[in-house]
Amino acid sequence: MEIICISDTHYESDVIRSILAVHPKCAYYFHCGDSQLQANHEILQQFMCVRGNTDTDHRFVWDQLVNVDCLDILITHGHRYQVNWNLEELHRQAKYEGVQMVCFGHTHVPLCKVYKEVIFINPGSALFPRGKYPFGTYVKISINCKARMIQVYFYRSDTHEVVDEQIVYI
C-alpha cells in the first residue's frame, strides 16, 4: 500500500501535477495543508487535504483520520499543535485519536521520527525548503502490514529522485 504525502505547496499546482504524473497509481494522496488553493481545485480532487495556517477556504478541515490497512493515521497541518517547538501537543492529539502515525506539515522541514510509539512524518515543503535539503521534498510511504514495516522515501520535488529512505517497524 503506497501513499504520497505532500505539504506547503503555497499556490503552486504545477508541482502537485508533476508529482501525480510520476506517482499515478498510489492508493492514497495526502496534502498536509497550505496548498492555498480552493478545496474544489481540480488538482486536489485526488487528495485527502487539511487546512493549513495560510489556507482561507473553510471547506478544508483541520484534521482528518484515515485507516490504511493496519494503521490509523492522523493528517494535519500541525500549526495548531505547536510543531515549530516540539511534538508534544501533536503526540497528545495522536494518543487521543488512537492513531499510530501522523502526517503533518507547517515546518517545511522533512522528518520521519518515532516518538513515544507514534510515527511522525513531515514531507517538508515541495517548493520552499527548510532544513537539511536546499530543494523541495515530498514523501512516498510504503506500508507492508505483513512484514510490520513502513518504508518512507523522501523525494526531490524538482527531479523526483529519492534523496533519503527510512524504515520503521510497526
- Whether residue 69 is predicted with pLDDT greater than 90 in this model: the reply is no
Write the pLDDT tens digit of every residue in 29-41: 999 999 999 999 9
- In the chain the domains, ranked by start, together with CATH numbers, are 2-169 (3.60.21.10)
Write the pLDDT tens digit of every residue in 92-122: 999 999 999 999 999 999 999 999 999 999 9
In this prediction, residue 122 carries a pLDDT of 98
Residue with cell 487535504: 49
Q: Is the pTM here over 0.75, yes or no?
A: yes
User: Cell digits for 143?
Assistant: 506500508
- Going by their DSSP bridges, the two strands 118-122 and 101-103 should be labelled as parallel
